[in-house]
Amino acid sequence: MALRSARPLDVGSAHVIVTGGSSGIGLATARLLTERGAKVSLIARGRERLEAAGKELSAAARAADVADQAALTRAIAELEEERRQPCDILITSAGLARPGYFLELADEVFREMIEVDYFGTLYALRAVVPGMVERGRGSVVAVSSAAGLIGIFGYSAYGPAKFAVRGLMESVRAELTPRGVHVGVVFPPDVDTPQLAEENQWKPAETRAVGGTIKPLTAEKVAAAIVTGIDRRRFVICPDTGTRALARFGSVLMPLLNREFDRRVRSIARAAKRA
């Protein structure tokens, strides 16, 4: 294996591919990178929002389901051909969150979370990383979640998929950094996006209690953290102090956090008995 020192990546001349780029964190990040002069390409499943985002940013766009490896690989290849430039920066923001009680969630929900959140990340990396290694430069950034740092009530399907994203990026970081490729993983808490609005329809009361009254971050704040992480070649990218502390001290804090989470869950059970 030929080792290469890290070479600075000029974002202004880079071709950036963003999965889940039609809304939320993906779209906000695409906006920032477009403002920096990058050639941005978007991939998303919903054609209507994708077309609107592509038009807004003058971005190339392809509709594809990230859980379909053949379709995703084809979309990436077409975007590289259209832009006449290989992917220099990949941001995998496509994802699904479906909270619910473990005993009530259908098996299909567990499977879908892994297929979209984990395999959707893996397939995108598999499509672009070989070229980055060959060129000795590039950046791949995956969006995990605060639920990928600690197990949370109600996220028995979503959390493991985001833990898997974290594990994947930790492993490939060790392999790709010596080859000149930056690897980053993002751990956002709740973010004010269409995905959160959909997620909230299914969220158990206990999950809401565990989350407390923390105001969701804006997609723009998370996007700014991602772009800074690319500029500074950071591995762990945390957009707020809470997830930063969790990423750094989670193993130490876990007994205290679990005790507090259990207290909040019991309070919901007591309230339900009184009702």
Catalytic residues: 144, 158, 162
Burial letters for 184-214: b for 16+ Cβ neighbours within 10 Å, e otherwise? Answer: bbbbbbbbbbebeeebeeebbebbbbbbeee
Are 225 and 238 spatial neighbours (Cβ–Cβ below 8 Å)? yes
- The half-sphere exposure of 138 on its side-chain side, counting CA atoms within 13 A, is 26
CA neighbor of 137 nearest in space, from 94, 183, 195, 200? 183
Is the distance from CB of 95 to CB of 16 less than 8 angstroms? no
Closest-CA residue to 116 (of 152, 82, 165): 165
Pairing assessment for the beta strands 15-19 and 181-186 based on DSSP bridges: unpaired
- Find all residues with CB under 8 Å of 162, minimum gap 6, and list them: 117, 144, 145, 147, 148
CA–CA separation, 102 and 159 (whole Å): 12
Separation of alpha carbons 104 and 101, rounded Å: 5
